[in-house]
Amino acid sequence: MKFDVSYTKLANGVRVLTIPMAGVESVTAMILCKTGSRNETLPQAGISHVLEHMVFKGTKKYPTPMAIAEAVDSIGAEQNAFTSKEYTGYYITSAAKHLGLTLDIQSQMLTTPTLPQDDLNREREVIVEEINMYEDQPMSKASEEFENLMYDGSAMGRMIIGTKETVRATTSADLRKYMSRWYRGGNILVVVAGRINVHQAQMTNVHKLIEERFGGMRTGKIDNYETMADYGKVEARHFKKKTEQAHFVMGVPGLSILDPRRYALQMGQVVLGGGMSSRLFNEIREKRGLAYYVKAELDSNFDCGYLGVRAGVNLDKLGEAMSVVKDEMLKLSDTITEAELAKAKEYILGHMPLSLEDSMGVAQFFGMRALVLDEVRQPSEVEEKIKGVTIKEVRRVLGELVQDKLIRSVVVGPGRGVVHR
């Protein structure tokens, strides 16, 4: 699968990625900024997410939240935003003929937001309630505490949403300062994917629209992330919480998105717990009935990552479940088979076309890689990397990373059961 991609740069450093798509009527305009929670100091925790909320509160041209909403609704478009550890994104998906308006709305939000203190005061409490919701969910708590343990309490291990204290302390002036520091030049990527391939004149017009709306942003080079010092110590932590189930996360340090071994590690993750036919699902749920859900996952960032397993189990089965998960993790490198590897490849390759069927999926696929890695990688190139992984490579990377002495774990639940070490 290959797309006709254009990757250019404006004079102020803003990068532009356009991906024409045949057979679709929609277009997605996605604006990505290379900053997220990992760029925050401890007193700033959550400011990236607060800012993401606040740019919807009004701009010079669209002075109120209702004005922005009405402009989007007037063309039947879908608008949303998201904050991660390494980037923040804003997108609108609409009929192709409305691209000019969607780019105008987004450029206004990111260049002339009013960030009124009164609205901020209200929005901070909305976010505090969001934090309360996460704290009430034991699996969210387990994931939060596991990442804090794995990433040694650094910004990479903190909740993206921040804390009640830091969110409530955020001011409009703080938001303006943060925006001035990070929302500029090379940290911005404008992605347009969808029905923009009628003829060359239209493609030229798309680039003109982007230049008009984002060419005036502050100039700046691409900022690099501050390198994470090291992973946290090997430890098993148990956080007491009154729940009907115990929830745990267990894992080891993994690989960054720059590491070519990540494809081999992904094969191991899929075989271990990537679906309903995986080893963990079969052993933990189907054979032993220890858990309703169990899943292996990879976290891959610019310079760090982890391979983890999460599960929710009966309280009196916690010790057994954690022991089984640990055993399955440790024996994988020696026992994974060619047949399992082939199945894992088909699982991943089968999911890829599904994620690229619409303009939103295509914008995400190309945008995330271009923003962080400053490169364009075609789906066909990723497919070839996956197809080329050998059983020897999978066994080697699993043997290097998945070792007993490297396993960390976090449990959230009542003070019952036995932790694995």
User: What is the token pair recorded at 86?
Assistant: 């390494």
The answer on 328 and 201 residing in a single domain is no
User: What is the token pair recorded at 255?
Assistant: 């690989």
Q: What is the pLDDT of residues 196-230, one digit of tens each?
A: 864 444 556 888 999 999 999 999 887 888 777 68
Note if the pTM is more than 0.75: yes
Domain residues for the domain of 382 are: 236-413
CB contact at 8 A, 114 and 385: no
Tell me if 247 is assigned to some domain: yes
Tell me if 1 is assigned to some domain: no
CB contact at 8 A, 362 and 21: yes
Tell me if 302 is assigned to some domain: yes
The answer on 269 and 205 residing in a single domain is no
The answer on 394 and 299 residing in a single domain is yes
Tell me if 418 is assigned to some domain: no
Q: Which residues pair with 95 in a beta bridge?
A: 26
Q: What pLDDT, on the 0 to 100 scale, is given for residue 197?
A: 65
DSSP letter for 113, please: B
The answer on 271 and 161 residing in a single domain is no
Tell me if 389 is assigned to some domain: yes
Tell me if 400 is assigned to some domain: yes
The answer on 241 and 160 residing in a single domain is no
We report the CATH number of the domain holding residue 325 as 3.30.830.10
The answer on 251 and 177 residing in a single domain is no
Task: Give, rounded to a whole angstrom, the gap between the first and last alpha carbons of the chain.
Answer: 47
The answer on 241 and 185 residing in a single domain is no
The answer on 398 and 271 residing in a single domain is yes
The answer on 253 and 155 residing in a single domain is no
Q: What is the pLDDT of residues 6-28, one digit of tens each?
A: 999 999 999 999 999 988 899 99
CB contact at 8 A, 16 and 210: yes
The answer on 131 and 26 residing in a single domain is yes
Q: What pLDDT, on the 0 to 100 scale, is given for residue 304?
A: 93
The CA-CA-CA angle for residues 408, 411, 417, to 5°, reads 115
Tell me if 230 is assigned to some domain: no
Q: What is the pLDDT of residues 360-376, one digit of tens each?
A: 999 999 999 999 888 89
Q: How many domains does the chain have?
A: 2
Q: Identify the segments of the chain with pLDDT beneath 50.
A: 198-201, 417-421
The answer on 112 and 166 residing in a single domain is yes
Q: What pLDDT, on the 0 to 100 scale, is given for residue 199?
A: 46
The CA-CA-CA angle for residues 95, 101, 103, to 5°, reads 100
Residue 44, amino acid:
Q
The answer on 152 and 262 residing in a single domain is no
Listed residues 179, 214, 249: the one ending a domain: 214
Tell me if 329 is assigned to some domain: yes
